Structure 1
């Protein structure tokens, strides 16, 4: 009898077409779920009789209690090589192997710039007005050349965002607690003396920090108040780094020009969530990692993970 593999959150219905599942087809039945399960109970009802689960990024949490409710689960594959919402100790205790996949930093870099440019040139407003018979030109775009781009984080993604900013002839500065002058100079940017200096002096601020105890809630109301009235904020990293309530209040109060976000405290967003109607906000449904090449990488590696597990030699084991 075949093992059963559940692929979660296949919103676009592409999990089985963007990768070749034939290497495991004779041993594994793959079932892709396009809907997101809104509660742990819904998830358990849907996948309790599955032996393998493939989950995207950190969209679905796997705490200790959930492993106890999935007695058949033996392999959990999570896209990427880091996942903070899986209880790895509990997985081991329940005999579940957790494996990851490769992941490219290119898609989130590209989306960051799509959002930043969309904000700067009012693309959503102008396109909506043009298609809806509204005014011909209603915004005056913000220039990039000569303006300051402040990066919170200069890791793998932040550094690539910085290089694009330099290509646009922007003045690029960066800050994080562990950032050194040498690291910043190696990317060709300046290190800000403090986060406050970066926030108050930048025309565009983009967040590229990992979420942890020191970065959770890093940008609250006092920090957002430091932004220039003409500044824009972009967050394609993790929602919890920017206090969502403080951000919505700042946007409603017109304290700075606008924001673009791709990550949220609750995903998918409920229909009546205030983010959906917030002013001066460009929002996308967590598309940072969603690209054809990245999905081919995720699901292709997932197939490899499953085949290796079945062969008794798991690869890319996490935790």
Structure 2
């Protein structure tokens, strides 16, 4: 018996191309944009639950010519693209998606398009995490719900403290517009660029880690930045310092981070990204008391979603007209 994941789906003459919208966790994809321009021209369906294996992906969307992906929730490596012979258009939210093998997509005749995004939502969530850590929001809220003693913690002040930014690009520079003393570092950051944003440039990563009360990551994950913070770097942070990561989990050695939190090398961490998503139920980061963990919400706002899906509809319409827009790669 042939596995459903490998059964070819026969073409149906005259049938509208099928489109799958992946990882619509909140079930809002079809309400965040006007999909009516595609009515009758495309058979659209949405999938709300994560597809955890390549077999699950092929079984779910193997009949689709068009796929709309949300960020990097579902990877499209070369091995998967080879198993999707019907796929011709892959639309991703944002104009960068490290989970799609663009070279393999090109080899298989798949056009990859992107959509615009906004830098403000991740910045706002970064500050939600910083404030939540500083004032022990989770601990105090949990105590309130449980009827535990009134006021069990003493919060950290932000006034007069130092914010360290690892990365001063589109998002990092927005996070710098605060009332704290801000110091920034990245491999290519110059003193001139830092001055433009109104922050100090650290002489090195180590100087920033030692100086900052809050360290926030705003870097693209790549060969040079993967594992940027390991055990030696985390030990350089202040024991009263907090680490905030709304960028990519791979920037930080996750085993070292768990150890740093368990052994109190640092005071705590605010996290929105993980090496496996959704985060496994038994993951230590779900239960450590000095972790404020969120389920990758940095880009999950109404304005972002409306922009993503509006431009996804435009990309699909352009593809059907023979002129894709916002092509990646």
TM-score of the two chains, using structure 2 as the length reference: 0.95
**Alpha-carbon distance between aligned partners in 2 of 1:199 and 1:156, rounded to the nearest angstrom:** 21
Shift of 1:270: 1.7
- Cα distance in 1 between the residues matched to 2:289 and 2:259: 10
Q: Which residue of 1 aligns with 2:47?
A: 33
Deviation of residue 140 (structure 1)? 0.9
Structure 1 residue aligned with 2:21:
7
Partner of 2:19: helix, strand, or coil? strand
Deviations 1:111-133 (A, max 9, x none): 00001000000111111111210
Distance in 1, matches of 2:311 and 2:27, equals 18
Shift in Å, 1:84: 1.3
The Cα of 1:279 is off from its aligned counterpart by 2.9
Give the deviation of 1:278 after TM superposition. Answer: 2.1
- Structure 2: stretches of 5+ with no match in the other structure: 1-14
In structure 2, the residue matched to 1:54 is: 68
Give the Cα–Cα distance (whole angstroms) in 1 for the partners of residues 267 and 282 of structure 2.
24
Stretches of 4+ moved more than 2 A in 1? none
Q: Which residue of 1 aligns with 2:5?
A: none
SS of equivalent residue, structure 1 residue 53: strand
- Superposition map of 1:241-252 within 5 A: 241-252=251-262
Deviations 1:224-253 (A, max 9, x none): 000111001100001000111100000000
Q: Does 1:45 align with 2:55?
A: no
Residue in 1 aligned with 2:159? 145
Matched, 1:236 2:263: no
* Residue equivalent to 1:68: 82
Residue 111 (structure 2) aligned to one of 91, 97, 108: 97
TM-score (norm 1): 0.97
2: CA distance between counterparts of 1:141 and 1:85? 39
| CA offset digits 1:195-222 (Å, max 9, x no partner) | 0000011111000011111100000000
SS of alignment partner, residue 309 of structure 2: helix
User: Residue by residue, what CA displacement relative to the aligned partner does 1:133-191 show, whole Å, maximum 9, x if unpaired?
Assistant: 0111111111111100000000010000000x2xxx31100000100111100101100
Question: C-alpha separation between the residues in 2 aligned to 1:88 and 1:152?
Answer: 28
* RMSD (Å) for aligned C-alpha atoms: 0.8
Which residue of structure 2 aligns with residue 309 of structure 1? 319
Look up the match of 1:297. Answer: 307
> What is the 5 A alignment of 1:220-299?
220-299=230-309
Q: How does 1:81-92 map to 2 (within 5 A)?
A: 81-92=95-106
Q: Secondary structure at the match of 1:41?
A: helix
- Give the distance between the partners of 1:55 and 1:101, measured in 2 at CA: 11
Q: Distance in 2 between matches of 1:128 and 1:64?
A: 45
- Over residues 265-287 of structure 1, what are the superposed CA-to-partner deviations in whole Å (9 max), with x where a residue is unaligned? 00011221222112310110100
| Secondary structure of 1:225's aligned partner | helix
Paired position in structure 1 for 2:12:
none
Equivalent-residue separation in structure 2 for 1:43 and 1:273 (angstroms): 24
Residue aligning to 1:180: 190
The more displaced of 271-280 and 171-180 is 271-280
- Give the structure 2 partner of residue 199 of structure 1: 209
What is the distance in 2 between the residues matched to 1:83 and 1:243?
21
CA apart distance, 1:21: 0.4
Show CA shifts across 1:275-311 (max 9, x none). Answer: 2112310110100000000000001100000000000
- Structure 2: distance between partners of 1:147 and 1:275: 26
Query: In structure 1, how many angstroms separate the alpha carbons of the residues matched to 2:232 and 2:106?
Result: 42
Q: Secondary structure at the match of 1:69?
A: coil
Count of aligned residue pairs for this structure pair: 315
Q: Distance in 2 between matches of 1:131 and 1:61?
A: 38
